[in-house]
A and B are shown apart, each in its own frame.
Chain A
């Protein structure tokens, strides 16, 4: 049995309730952090743990917290990214449904470390039932004195508000999330300034993913060294991989960072459905460049996948079998990004809608010579040239598909 940090208790009945959570050492991490440790010690531990962001970009959480200026007189904010919009991604739903108090502990400790008294959980609008569960958990924690004023006599105050989005993938991008939280359209902001200095309501702001923060309690209780040993020195801990598509057992698998993708699919998720052959894998949510069947002997960690020109992203693994038409995959991907582009900058707005038109035309039998090159050209013109990373998130998977599956797409054109 592999050690689990986040999902160990998922199967315990009513674990989402505070009294059950407390019976399993609940709120020990908060107690330790607030009564035995000071913010500097916690920051040092978080940095040493090499906890890489689980939301997509893989940025080390401790380093991010360290960017927040500590000498200003403005309030500081923590925004928890629970937007979970990256296609394929299911993990935050599991954490919030089965272990909401673990997330709350992570929020409390992080906020204490950075000197934050107000946190917002920005949760995708569709997760209404989960939002209600979180609100109940917050009420319970408040009543037991884990939230509110002078928590556990430490002098530290914290308030948490659950804020529901309303159906826009782009609001998962951190600066769009801030705009949305301020009651506006989710149009991403130009960076710099970075949210750490000018974020929510123009104040210093930390934005972290649900899974990222949920790792903090274990790091506090067991230490950074343990956390790194569990995963990799540069990328500590476990990941909740979400496996979906043409495997026997789709679902979540919490495994050490660095687990082989091949094992994830064939050992843990039961292998291919109906004995079909594997065709390709999207290893980190839809924005991650595709891997062909012969490229899956690879460790699932941020740096290794980046070196392979792909991305660990949100750890969402989508498995395609031999019967999957790559043109259908391309069609869905391009439709998605054309729909979700906020329209603020030209390469993304025009590029995505043109790519979608070309791909749709090809799939209707009207493909022309030069189409594939045009798709690649339009996608390349988005790379690195847009206001927010959605441009790249669209361009990268599209480019990888036309590069790796050019022959197959060409058969639909001729």
Chain B
């Protein structure tokens, strides 16, 4: 079974590749597009990226395993990433994490059985002034407390 892109995505990818004098340089942006489309970068997606850029699968694997944002297994519909770096910890990140763990019944690295939420901890998100901070998919949330977390999570479909 091989993966197929929509025509629109194909166009996006060719446009990206054209931005670089060497095809391989488009690997990170292309992997972002692939992850968006297929939800993960497993072996199949690696092969797809490799064939698009004319490089070997092992080269893609080397890169995918280096960067934390590439998910080698699919994550839930909402990927909650709680900052565990210095400022957020000073401002109560541990409580944020514990509260979400309890509320969703999962630990960092786990996904809820209904595949709705995946929980992770991450290093500084660059939003320290709003600590404690977290990211859900690509949206940032700050000044977190229990009430706010409840509101945010309960509003996600």
State how many angstroms separate the Cβ of A159 from the closest Cβ of chain B. Answer: 8
Could you tell me if A165 and B28 are in contact, using CB atoms closer than 8 angstroms? yes
Question: Which of A18-26, A60-68, A238-246, A404-412 is the interface stretch?
Answer: A238-246
* Chain B, range 120-135, C-beta contacts under 8 Å to A: 122-131, 135
Q: Does B57 lie at the interface of the complex (its beta carbon under 8 Å from any beta carbon of A)?
A: no
Interface residues of B, Cβ cutoff 8 Å to A: 19-22, 24-29, 31-32, 53, 62-63, 66-70, 84-87, 89-91, 122-131, 135, 138-139
State how many angstroms separate the Cβ of B107 from the closest Cβ of chain A. Answer: 17
Most interface-central of B62, B127, B128, B131 (chain A CB within 10 A): B128
Question: Which of A177-185, A212-220, A345-353, A381-389 is the interface stretch?
Answer: A177-185
Could you tell me if A166 and B31 are in contact, using CB atoms closer than 8 angstroms? yes
Distance, CA A411 to CA B61, complexed state (A):
46
Which chain A positions have C-beta within 8 A of B91?
245-246
Known contacts A88-B128, A185-B63, A201-B21; can you find 11 more A-B pairs with CB under 8 A? A87-B123, A90-B127, A167-B69, A168-B66, A183-B22, A184-B27, A201-B22, A251-B129, A286-B85, A328-B89, A332-B84
Which chain A positions have C-beta within 8 A of B85?
87, 286, 332, 336
Could you tell me if A324 and B28 are in contact, using CB atoms closer than 8 angstroms? no
Which chain A positions have C-beta within 8 A of B19?
161
Which chain B positions have C-beta within 8 A of A183?
22, 24-28, 53, 63
Could you tell me if B28 and A166 are in contact, using CB atoms closer than 8 angstroms? yes
Which chain A positions have C-beta within 8 A of B27?
183-184
- Interface residues contributed by chain A, number (CB under 8 Å): 53
Which chain A positions have C-beta within 8 A of B131?
244-245, 250
Which chain B positions have C-beta within 8 A of A125?
32, 67, 69
- A-B interface, 7 closest residue pairs, ranked by CB to CB distance from nearest: A183-B27, A166-B67, A167-B68, A167-B69, A244-B128, A87-B124, A185-B66
Distance, CA A286 to CA B124, complexed state (A):
10
Could you tell me if B22 and A88 are in contact, using CB atoms closer than 8 angstroms? no
Beyond A242-B128, A320-B90, whether A168 also contacts B29 by CB under 8 A is no
State how many angstroms separate the Cβ of A386 from the closest Cβ of chain B. Answer: 18
Distance, CA A90 to CA B130, complexed state (A):
10
Distance, CA A186 to CA B122, complexed state (A):
18
Distance, CA A169 to CA B22, complexed state (A):
24
Distance, CA A288 to CA B25, complexed state (A):
33
Q: Does A163 lie at the interface of the complex (its beta carbon under 8 Å from any beta carbon of B)?
A: yes
Which chain A positions have C-beta within 8 A of B122?
167
* Chain A, range 167-205, C-beta contacts under 8 Å to B: 167-169, 180-186, 201
Question: Which of A9-17, A126-134, A144-152, A258-266 is the interface stretch?
Answer: A126-134
Distance, CA A94 to CA B19, complexed state (A):
26
Which chain A positions have C-beta within 8 A of B126?
84-85, 89-90, 92-93, 124, 126-127
Could you tell me if B25 and A340 are in contact, using CB atoms closer than 8 angstroms? no
State how many angstroms separate the Cβ of B29 from the closest Cβ of chain A. Answer: 6
Distance, CA A329 to CA B89, complexed state (A):
9
Beyond A252-B129, A320-B90, A332-B85, whether A182 also contacts B22 by CB under 8 A is yes
Which chain B positions have C-beta within 8 A of A246?
90-91
Which chain A positions have C-beta within 8 A of B127?
90, 93
Distance, CA A332 to CA B85, complexed state (A):
6
* Chain A, range 55-109, C-beta contacts under 8 Å to B: 75, 84-90, 92-93
Distance, CA A85 to CA B122, complexed state (A):
12
State how many angstroms separate the Cβ of B112 from the closest Cβ of chain A. Answer: 22
Could you tell me if B62 and A185 are in contact, using CB atoms closer than 8 angstroms? yes
Q: Does A164 lie at the interface of the complex (its beta carbon under 8 Å from any beta carbon of B)?
A: yes
Could you tell me if A85 and B66 are in contact, using CB atoms closer than 8 angstroms? no
Beyond A126-B138, A242-B128, whether A336 also contacts B62 by CB under 8 A is no
Distance, CA A166 to CA B71, complexed state (A):
11
Could you tell me if B128 and A87 are in contact, using CB atoms closer than 8 angstroms? yes
Which chain B positions have C-beta within 8 A of A127?
126
Which chain B positions have C-beta within 8 A of A87?
85-87, 123-124, 128
Could you tell me if B128 and A182 are in contact, using CB atoms closer than 8 angstroms? no
Could you tell me if A181 and B135 are in contact, using CB atoms closer than 8 angstroms? no
State how many angstroms separate the Cβ of A2 from the closest Cβ of chain B. Answer: 19
Beyond A126-B69, A126-B138, A167-B69, whether A182 also contacts B25 by CB under 8 A is yes
State how many angstroms separate the Cβ of A388 from the closest Cβ of chain B. Answer: 15
Closest residue of chain A to B65, judged by CB?
A185
Could you tell me if A165 and B67 are in contact, using CB atoms closer than 8 angstroms? yes
